[in-house]
Amino acid sequence: MAEDIKDISTRGAIMAIAVSLIVLAGVTTFGVFGDYGGGTPDNDRYQAVTLNNGATFYGQLSGLGNKYVTLDNAYTIQNAAGQGQDGKQATPQLSLVARDKALYQPVGAMKIHSEQIAVWEELSEDSPVTKAINEQNKEEKK
């Protein structure tokens, strides 16, 4: 009877080690070759990238799985609300601003440390942001 208990505990320990090794192999494989389960961005769409500090940028995301990701053609939404009539707060006037048109005039693609990304999402072709980006790109080409 003591041998049966010893045999069961040995099998349990071997099973636990085997399962641990399989899990470790899976984690290592995704860490080296995978995209951490987040999928890969569609190159034909724009993505919304929300950072840990709450800032959201829109553009074309690439390089997921790397230490730094790239956001090309980056935009942000700016609130241009001022004072309305009688000193009351005016309705917010939101506008899409190209990152390279910002006051500090950055050059090139935006590089973001991957640990700073809280969420990224694909934007639909019907998204007002997608339409505004496409419209601004058309205007710049004229």
**92-117 pLDDT tens trace:** 788 899 988 888 888 989 999 999 99
For 37-55, the pLDDT digits (tens) are: 468 899 999 999 999 999 9
Is pLDDT larger for residue 65 or for residue 90?
65
Is pLDDT larger for residue 101 or for residue 118?
118
Any domain includes 42: no
Length of the chain: 142
> Is it the case that residue 21 has pLDDT exceeding 70?
no
Instruction: Identify whether residues 61 and 120 lie together within a single domain.
Output: yes
Query: CB neighbours (10 Å) of residue 136?
Result: 16
Instruction: Identify whether residues 52 and 29 lie together within a single domain.
Output: no
Instruction: Identify whether residues 9 and 63 lie together within a single domain.
Output: no
> Is it the case that residue 61 has pLDDT exceeding 70?
yes
Integer Cα distance of 142 and 134 in angstroms: 13
Across the chain, mean pLDDT equals 79
Instruction: Identify whether residues 13 and 78 lie together within a single domain.
Output: no
Instruction: Identify whether residues 61 and 98 lie together within a single domain.
Output: yes
Lowest mean pLDDT across 25-34, 36-45, 56-65: 25-34
Any domain includes 102: yes
Residue-level pLDDT at 32: 42
Any domain includes 40: no
We report the CATH number of the domain holding residue 69 as 2.30.30
Query: CB neighbours (10 Å) of residue 57?
Result: 19
Where residue 73 falls (left for φ over 0; alpha for ψ -120 to 50; beta otherwise) is: left
Residues 6+ apart with CB under 8 A from 43: 60, 62
Integer Cα distance of 53 and 85 in angstroms: 33
Instruction: Record the pTM.
Output: 0.66
Instruction: Identify whether residues 75 and 125 lie together within a single domain.
Output: yes
Integer Cα distance of 26 and 19 in angstroms: 11
Residue-level pLDDT at 100: 87
Instruction: Identify whether residues 52 and 111 lie together within a single domain.
Output: yes
Q: How confident is the model at residue 78 (pLDDT cuts 50, 70, 90)?
A: confident
Any domain includes 27: yes
Any domain includes 136: yes
Domain count, the chain: 2
Say whether 35 sits in a helix, a strand or coil.
coil
Range of the domain at 14: 1-34
For residue 118, give both structure tokens.
Answer: 């809280």
Any domain includes 39: no
Instruction: Identify whether residues 23 and 67 lie together within a single domain.
Output: no
Residue-level pLDDT at 30: 44
Integer Cα distance of 52 and 120 in angstroms: 11
